[in-house]
Structure 1
Amino acid sequence: MEVGLYKEIVSKMRNFRGLPKNCLKQLEESFPSVKPDTLSSIVNNEYQKKMKYGYGKTQNNRNLFWEMYNTSLKRGEEPGILVRLAEIHDIPPCLLARLILQKYFEVKPGKFLEKDSTVNINKYLKNACLISDPDLAYEVFLCSIFDNLYSPLQDAIRMSIGQQYEIRLHKEATQLGLTFRNEEYLRKLGYDKTPDLKMELPFLFEGIVINWIESKALFADEEVHNDYVKNQYLSYWNRFGPGLVIYWFGYLKTIVEPSNKRFIIRDHLPTNIIKFNDVNQL
């Protein structure tokens, strides 16, 4: 993606206040030429950055949100109080629900069943029926419905999408006649960090010998890409040599370094490759 277009999308996002799902809808209307999956990934990336740097401040306001919730409840407001508060204060609903649950268990001693309160909160976010307070249970349930970023349902959807693209990668690699080993096989050999595919027989692409392929079902900006370089790709390069990185939902043009021979970046599995067995047959 060109930098100018990316900046337009991010600028529109940062000027938006409200629920992430409504922000995504507005972006889809404003940028019809950009794939919905790409826009969704950009929204997810930007909100993660926003929460990373601003969630501490949100945590500090936990008591205030708790008071707002209870005041609205006493007024007899319609269900959806937490969703409306999240929209007003520009917070993903499930993150606000998490704060409210933390405060709820804090003022209701004896409610925790596990020693790890984080695990306990996650359990109630996944299944609001376990919350003894029926009003709060319904509010948390609504948050999970209206949150397209941090709800347990969205976590499951993202995992499913990631698996679908792994299957796609395996299928396309097989159709190209590539021979490879998958992550499960490599882990059995004792590797702690493993690419999606490790080539049994490397292939040539744009003059570089490709020894491994890693794919991500997301859009990569510079921060996202640099995190993966640090935590994954450099490890693959050190162990296996140069490889191929696929960002299925696209990437910011500036992350590509022409002089970088450690790995090539694409948004698909290229077909114009040269297999070594083809070379041997010439």
Structure 2
Amino acid sequence: MDQQHYNDIVSIIRKYRGLTQDCMKLLIQKFPQDSYDTLYSILSLEYQKRMKCSHVKNQMNKNKYWDLYKRGVEDDNNPGIIIRMAAQFDIAPCLVAKCILNKYFETLETSGDKDQSSVNINIYLRDTCLIQNMDLAYEIFLCTLYDNIYSPLTETMKASLGQQYEVKLYKEAVALGLAFRDEEHLRKNGYDKTPDCKLEVPVAMDGFVINWIESKALFGDEDAHKDYMKNQYLSYWNRFGPGLVIYWFGYLEKIVEPSDKRFIIRDHLPTNIIHISSSTFSKNLKNRI
């Protein structure tokens, strides 16, 4: 994706105030040429950056959120009190819900109930039936439905999507006749840094020798790419040599360095493959050393 088009998408996200679900609808309307997954991935990455910047402020305002929630209940407002608060203050519903749950358990402890200091809020966010206050339980449940960034449901869907594209990678690799070991096999054999696909025999893709392939079911923006390069890609390169990174939902052209000999970046698995014989590989390896 070129820089200008990316900037146009990000500009709308950064200016938007309200629920990310509504922002997503706007993006789909404004950029029909882009896939849902690409737009959602850019939205998710940008929104998480925004929430990180406002994290401390949100924690400081938990008393305010709690008071507003209680007032809404006392006034017999319609369900969705916390969601409307999230839209008003431009915060993810589940993050507001966490603040309110924290304050709720603090009040239980103050009122003489058992010690709540070790309560894991995420457990109650995942299973709202555990919350004894029925009104609050329903409000938190609604947050998990309306929050498409921080909800436990969303996290599960993201994990499932990542696995789906790993399977897609393996199927395409088998169809191309590539011999490889998957991440699970590598971990069983003691590797701590494991790409999704480690080729048993290197191949040339787009004129570049590939020893490993990493699958990312997201859009590759500059910040995400730098983070992955620091924590994953460079480790793979040090252990296994040059490789391939696939950002299935596209990537920013800016992150590609044409002279980079460590890995190449694509949004698909290249099919123009040259299989390298063992003798050719040994010769190239000697020359490299």
Task: Indicate the TM-score class for this superposition, using the shorter chain for normalisation.
Answer: over 0.9
Q: Deviations along 1:157-192, whole A, 9 cap, x unmatched?
A: 111111110000000000000000011111122111
Q: Is 1:163 aligned to residue 169 of structure 2?
A: no
Paired AA for residue 28 in structure 2: E
- Give TM-score, length-normalised by structure 1: 0.95
Amino acid at match of 2:224: V
Letter in structure 2 aligned against 1:96: V
Figure out how many residues of one structure are paired with residues of the other and give that number.
277
SS in 2 for 1:129: helix
> Corresponding residue for 1:90?
90
- Supply the RMSD in Å over aligned alpha carbons: 1.5
1:271 shift after superposition? 0.2
Deviations 1:233-260 (A, max 9, x none): 0000000000000000000110000111
Q: 2:55 — aligned with what?
A: 55
The DSSP-based 3-state class of the residue aligned with 1:204 is: strand
Show structure 2 runs of 5+ residues with no match. Answer: 281-289
Deviations 1:70-116 (A, max 9, x none): 11111111110000000111111111101100111011114567x64
Give the 3-state SS of the residue equivalent to 2:16 in structure 1.
coil
SS in 2 for 1:33: coil
Change (3 A) 1:233 1:116: farther
TM alignment of 1:1-282, pairs within 5 A: 1-109=1-109, 110=113, 116-117=118-119, 120-277=120-277
**For residues 232 and 268 of structure 1, what CA distance do their matches in structure 2 show?**
19
Distance 1:94 1:260 in 2: 41
Partners of 2:222 and 2:101 lie apart in 1 by 35
Is the contact between residue 105 and residue 111 of structure 1 (CA under 8 Å) also seen in structure 2? Answer: no
Question: Contact (CA 8 Å) 1:82, 1:139: kept in 2 or not?
Answer: yes
Deviation at 1:49, TM superposition (A): 0.5
User: What is the CA distance between 1:278 and its match in structure 2?
Assistant: 11
% same residue: 58
CA deviation map 1:107-135 (0-9, x unaligned): 1114567x643xx2111001111100011
The C-alpha deviation readout for 1:222-242, integer Å capped at 9, x for no partner, is 000000000000000000000
TM-score by length of 2: 0.93
3-state SS of the aligned residue for 2:54? helix
> Do the aligned partners of 2:92 and 2:147 also contact (CA within 8 Å) in 1?
yes
Deviation at 1:14, TM superposition (A): 1.1
